[in-house]
Structure 1
Amino acid sequence: MSEERAFHRAPASVALTRSGPLSGRVRVPGSKSQTARAFVLAALGTGQSQITGALVADDSHHMVHGLRALGIPVEALDDTGEQWRLTGCGGALPDVGPVTIDSGFAGTVMRFLTAAATLAPHQTTLTGRPALLARPVGDLLQVLNQLGARVEASGDFPPVIVHSGLPRGGAATVDSSKSSQFASALLLAAPFFPDGLTLELSGLGAPGYFDMTLQMLRQRGVAVQRDGMRLVIPPGGHGYPAIDEDVAGDASAASHIFTLAAATGGTITVEKLAGATMQPDMRILSVLADFGCTITHDPDGSITVSGPQQLRPIDADLSQTPDQLPNMVVLASLANGRSVIRGVGMTRFHETDRIASLETEMAKVGVVVTSTQDDVFIEGGTAQPGASLYSHHDHRLAMAFASLGAAVGDIAVDNADAVEKTYPAFWSAVEALGGKVSPN
């Protein structure tokens, strides 16, 4: 089996019939966020490292090809797409001549490799699919240029051209309110800046993912000092050794499975979540409990969610877990009463403007969703069958709509293959749990 296609291809459109309570056990893919950081850290570190349990999906496929384009030896150890060996460059990327990296839909690939490519002695162009080219990068590029790199784009958006010339580092301020990936990208490259990095954060969206970056850097011995919104990596460009990484199950993917249980009143267990505690989306379990779900943590690291007979409306702050907005909107639409979801303005800059897209798509099933800049309001209990919903090339919308279809029935999801970004076998998993899914 080719490593590039070690995962199943999803159908372009699916039809869902009301399924009744879904139940069973599922093992979700490896963490998208941990996989992306592990690949970049292994590539820039000194020596060989092995990554086990990596995400098998389009995002990691583009990360592997991007690192190879930068001259990093990346070896697949088997045909599962989960086991890899990388030989790091010690922060000195080889001169492989001008290269172009296709980031697909992956914001982590675009942003992390933009910062990493400043360590290369050649020109690198980073591009991707149209939806990715509409996601902002300007705040990251501004800081990289301030630190001595030569990076350019068309205004605030990709494609990005990184010219040769190692950043010296120094002091800078970054606005990461649109995405914490800006700050994470800078920290991943900063151990190799001769003058180090003193970084002030003027804003930080989804801070839990930034905390993950800090934790993984410290595991490799990087002396990151933090005082509130100020971070310091000492000068010297000493780098770090490569270490092995065992990737935990993806809490974000697990949340989509748990949402199926919540929406249908079923009971579903997700395995291999023992090491997922540093993933921000684990916090969504408390919100599911607010909806009326029962949460059970099993001794083997599995987590079981049982949905109630009737969901309760919620008032929840998702600023730490903004990726969960689509799931929570769907569940709120099934609860009798008004729900409020706060702190999710940053989702306007994700794969799509998630707030606007949810307002449009939920209206098709008779659910009124309104918003301010940061908060979303759902008038629940009115969801009706008989609609065709569009994912807007957003994997999280496609997966959230599966729960709506299983609960109310007669729902088609167009652009259902958006799930290939992070969970290519998602529709097969829904079917295995008792969901009635058919290609449309």
Structure 2
Amino acid sequence: MTEWIAPTATGPVTASVRLPGSKSMTARALVLSALADGPSAIERPLRARDTELMAGALRAVGVTVDTGRDDRWTVQPGELRGSARVDVGLAGTVMRFAPPVAALAEGTVTFDGDPYARNRPMRPLVEALRGLGVTIEAAPTGGLPLTVHGAGLVEGGEVVIDASASSQLVSALLLSAPRFTKGLVLRHEGPPVPSAPHLRMTTHMLRAAGAVVDDSTPDVWTVEPGPLRGHTWEIEPDLSGAAPFFAAAMVTGGTVTLAGWPVRSWQPVDRLTALLTGLGAEVTQTGEGLTVRGTGALHGIDADLSEVGELTPVVAALAALADSPSRLRGVGHIRLHETDRVAALARELTKVGADVTEHPDGLDITPGPGRSAVFETYDDHRMAHAGAVVGLTVEGVGLSDVACTSKTLPEFPELWAGLVARS
């Protein structure tokens, strides 16, 4: 791997960027389309490693997914069949959303992925599916590699899960639940489920496809059995993917607009706005998109990021460049993401000059004089984003592997370099 030197800004960044679609929405649209009773279209999807792997997983069980056009994918459901092997890569969506689909197929489907994928939490999902009558063989850890012995149907009913490690454990079951013979009553018991906005996205999209979902009782989700309709999905720009570009405006005192942002969104834009405003930015929404303007000041914050854990690396990078200390809380669950992001951020931000204290659920970050260093990315796209943000003002920050950004935004290096060149 060739080290990539993060470009340093020489002035305010002013730009309008148009980013690919949301990974989370694209993944959910693919699954709901695969289980529908007719064809679907996905407008402006994200084409990246995670979503290509999801499309491949669905093709493996008999679904026709045409990704030939960048701007419009089509999905034609088919009779679900097994006798397949699925590569999940390092994608939490694929390793969790696809096994319940495989349980509806006739035959066996085996799942495995990148080495670190075997460390990601799967046991609660495996045990829940077993509780619903699905036969699954899993590794001693309860996760990958695993084999689903599909019987062509899942009876469904009531099941309890501890989804405190990931909201995807809940979404995985909900997305397939309309196809269960008895539907699903899912109860969460345990510490709070993180990333609640992603659960709301799941229920919104289920309803858009015709499912009857009741989430009015906290930590209980009821999905009635019934058909899912074919649908045309309009995928929003990826809000988490936009975070480093907004950070560029904040760090340099510039202005960045995310073009194509919808007036009403299924993503946690209000939470992002509050965070960036707390850090010192001005955030506005107009017909042209969502705009973030740097005010020339970057302040430390005390923030609970439990609902938006994906934003932690970029927020931590901003905290390392701020004018006062920060405390980031509520993100113990991101230790189980693509890497242990809490520990990785503590190590790498310390290397580039910050004073960082690691806690079980977060970080204390005190800014310090920046210094050049190799910023390890750990095969994690969000870590690469954090390193790039620090490199805006700290010269000589080299990312060990910028290619890992292909997980969700393959064109990130070119977009980032072009953005900074306009400073």
TM-score (norm 1): 0.91
Relative CO higher for 1 or 2, CA cutoff 8 Å, sep ≥ 6? Answer: 1
Change (3 A) 1:275 1:144: farther
* Residue 64 of structure 2 is aligned to residue 73 of structure 1: yes
Select which of 312, 315, 318 maps to 2:305: 318
Instruction: Measure the CA separation in 1 of the matches of 2:6 and 2:243.
Output: 19
**Aligned twin of 2:210:** 221
Instruction: Measure the CA separation in 1 of the matches of 2:369 and 2:264.
Output: 33
Select which of 278, 284, 291 maps to 2:272: 284
**Aligned twin of 1:245:** 233
**Stretch of structure 1 that moved more, 16-25 or 318-327:** 16-25
Instruction: Measure the CA separation in 2 of the matches of 1:296 and 1:219.
Output: 28
**Aligned twin of 2:404:** 418
**Aligned twin of 1:5:** none
**Aligned twin of 2:147:** 161
Instruction: Measure the CA separation in 1 of the matches of 2:170 and 2:298.
Output: 37
> How many pairs are equivalent?
417
**Stretch of structure 1 that moved more, 183-192 or 256-265:** 256-265
Select which of 67, 86, 109 maps to 1:124: 109
* Aligned residue runs from structure 1 range 217-366, under 5 A: 217-226=206-215, 227-234=217-224, 237-274=225-262, 277-280=265-268, 283-300=271-288, 302-366=289-353
Q: Deviations over 1:75-113 (max 9, x none)?
A: 2352x2x31111124xxx433x51101111211011100
Which ranges of structure 2 fall in alignment gaps of 5 or more residues?
A: none
**Aligned twin of 1:58:** 49
Letter matched to residue 417 of structure 1: A
* Residue 376 of structure 2 is aligned to residue 390 of structure 1: yes
What is the CA distance between 1:298 and its match in structure 2? 1.7
**CA contact 1:16–1:436 (8 Å) conserved in 2:** no
Select which of 123, 127, 132 maps to 1:147: 132
Change (3 A) 1:429 1:129: same
Letter matched to residue 101 of structure 2: A
Letter matched to residue 352 of structure 2: V
Percent of aligned pairs with the same amino acid: 35
Letter matched to residue 311 of structure 2: Q
**CA contact 2:126–2:143 (8 Å) conserved in 1:** no
Which ranges of structure 1 fall in alignment gaps of 5 or more residues?
A: 1-10
Instruction: Measure the CA separation in 2 of the matches of 1:222 and 1:256.
Output: 35
**Aligned twin of 2:414:** 428
Instruction: Measure the CA separation in 2 of the matches of 1:248 and 1:275.
Output: 11
What is the CA distance between 1:287 and its match in structure 2? 0.9
Letter matched to residue 74 of structure 1: V
RMSD of aligned alpha carbons: 1.7
- Please identify runs of 4+ aligned residues in structure 1 that moved more than 6 A: none
Letter matched to residue 48 of structure 1: P
What is the CA distance between 1:24 and its match in structure 2? 1.0
**CA contact 1:343–1:374 (8 Å) conserved in 2:** yes
Q: Deviations over 1:149-190 (max 9, x none)?
A: 011211232112101223211111111111100100001111
Instruction: Measure the CA separation in 1 of the matches of 2:90 and 2:268.
Output: 21
Q: Deviations over 1:214-268 (max 9, x none)?
A: 000011221111212112123xx42211111011111111112101111222211
SS at match of 2:357: strand
What is the CA distance between 1:419 and its match in structure 2? 0.3
